Structure 1
């Protein structure tokens, strides 16, 4: 079974199973021509702020704090996060990123938020706030 929310570097080959491809970087990845990339959406608003990205620097020792801070930033763009959740409800989604580190980047953290929100929606009978707003239930 294909993971409904996949992660790929922008340099990885496109596959039919990718579904909707969403770039979640604030800046365009180096060495890639826009004309050569298949994307359905460049979701700059969902990327970490420049300040947070530079502070983090893909340092694994800062990963937990990065994830918390990134969730706080995502809470500031609920309409854009909802748009991405709508993509997820329609079929497979691939979060595309440029970072070399495949384990410590915003796409990994964003996927956690999306999966948490999907799980919350499946178990809740009420309209719940997106998981990124739930600071007490933070997944760190």
Structure 2
């Protein structure tokens, strides 16, 4: 039996793997229609706060500090336990795709979220 995984997928990529599709951005991706996004859910409350998102501004120099601040926000986020429960339920059936809009595939909130959840999901 194969274990299902959390996969990170840029919502604008043409190749989209199969799985339960969760948009983890607080803002809707620019130029993306709801039909084309084909989401199972949009968990905007799990994304970084507007203040943190604006401060980070996808600056690679700030990524380590962004990661630390976002993890603190996740620790304090009352929506986290329901989010984790839902991700676990979906992983029992299929892969879960964390969709994001950022251009940088290595330094974004979806990367932080996946890493943060690693110990909490297993």
TM-score range, shorter chain: 0.7 to 0.9
Query: Alpha-carbon deviations, 1:14-56, whole Å to 9, x = none?
Result: 54x4310110011111111112221111010111000000101
Specify the SS of the correspondent of 1:96.
Answer: strand
Q: TM-score, normalised by structure 2?
A: 0.84
Larger radius of gyration: 1
Question: Could you list the runs of 5+ residues in structure 2 that have no partner in the other structure?
Answer: none
Distance 2:117 2:72 in 1: 14
Bigger mean CA offset, 43-52 vs 85-94: 85-94
Q: Indicate yes or no: 2:67 matched with 1:78.
A: no
1:51-130 → structure 2 map (5 Å cutoff): 51-75=51-75, 76=77, 77-82=79-84, 83-118=86-121, 121=122
SS in structure 1 of the partner of residue 119 of structure 2 = helix
Structure 1, unpaired ranges of 5+: 122-140
In structure 1, C-alpha distance between the alignment counterparts of 2:39 and 2:47, rounded to whole Å:
16
Shift of 1:81: 2.9
Question: How many aligned positions are there?
Answer: 118
Q: Which runs of 4+ in 1 moved over 6 A?
A: none
SS at 1:18 equivalent: coil
Which of 1 and 2 has higher RCO (CA within 8 Å, sep 6+)? 2
Corresponding residue of 2:14: 13
Decide whether the 8 Å contact of 1:4 with 1:93 is kept in 2. Answer: yes
Instruction: Give the TM-score normalised by the residue count of structure 1.
Output: 0.74
